[in-house]
Structure 1
Amino acid sequence: MDDQYIPALPWYRRPQRLIAIVCAVIGGLLIAFGPEMRFIIASDEAPAVLDDQMLKLPTPTVALAVVYVSGAVAAPDVYRLPLNARVIDVLQAAGGLTDQADISGLNLAALVRDGEHIRVPFAGEAVALLVADVQQTGLLDLNRASAADLEELPGVGATLAARIIERRETQGPYRSVEELREVSGIGEKLFAQIAPLVTIGP
């Protein structure tokens, strides 16, 4: 029997060739569009990376002032408060005032400063210290004198006495008698009259 002629199968019916063609098409697509696909993937991941960085941002810290409170308060100690705290805030942190406290010479609305020492005098203590100073030196201590004491000076009335105390409370204790010149209302003539009568205590 003669061998029968068997025609060759078309290419699309040959599995090996079909697989090779499919692989070639996929490879071509990857070569042609690979960079764009990588860019899209990277873009999708970018927000996640950004979120992680945002979560790692440091938490803002509040600046604190360290203040020592002593005298006629319930709990004398060192306290840490925000820099915008007032004297009244410090006294509240120290448990409040005792029954013997004398706050007539304190400015409760003044801002506290880092490293400041706030001492609340006991009733009668300021007067006793003032009397002792006058007895020892015969001069009036600008950092301890009350408004009534300052009004005893020549040419100093209630308004000027209040300004002298206000300058002491807002800018800190007087460091020299010369600083009286900074008080509004004290000219050279008045300063020459009161300077020999006042002093700066220890």
Structure 2
Amino acid sequence: MDIAATVIAIEFRLPGPININTAPAERLQELPGIGPALAARIVAFREEHGPFDTIEDLTHVPGIGPRTLDAVRDLITVVDER
């Protein structure tokens, strides 16, 4: 496998951060500490209140506290980085 093919393979295995403003519940469940119920709450919260402005706004969702936020902080985004 050449270097370009290796880089492409790695990119497919290591997707970028999950956008919590657009991700469906199934994608949110890939995050540590986020199960089906909490993922559904995140989606319901953003549908009711609009998009999250900051990653820290995620703590407004019932069930997400500082520990959960710290676990997912580096894995999520609120902006479309593509």
- Give the structure-2-normalised TM-score: 0.76
SS in 2 for 1:145: coil
Name which of 169, 190, 193 aligns with 2:68: 190
Superposed, 1:93-108 pairs within 5 Å as none
Q: Confirm or deny that 1:147 pairs with 2:15.
A: no
Cα offsets for 1:2-50 (capped at 9, x unmatched): xxxxxxxxxxxxxxxxxxxxxxxxxxxxxxxxxxxxxxxxxxxxxxxxx
| Greater fraction helix | 2
Structure ranking higher in strand proportion: 1
Compare CA radii of gyration and give the structure with the larger one: 1
Look up the match of 1:163: 41
Q: Aligned Cα RMSD in Å?
A: 1.3
The structure showing larger relative contact order (alpha-carbon pairs under 8 Å, at least 6 residues apart) is 2
- What letter matches 2:39 in structure 1? A
Q: Percent identical across equivalent pairs? A: 40
Structure 1 stretches of 4+ with a deviation exceeding 2 A read: none
State the TM-score, normalizing by the size of structure 1: 0.32
- 1:187 Cα deviation (Å)? 1.3
Structure 1, gaps ≥5 residues long: 1-133
Please state whether the residue corresponding to 2:79 is helix, strand or coil: coil
**How many pairs does the alignment contain?**
67
- TM-aligned CA deviation for residue 188 of structure 1: 1.1
Gaps of 5+ in 2: 1-13
Q: CA deviation at 1:169?
A: 0.2
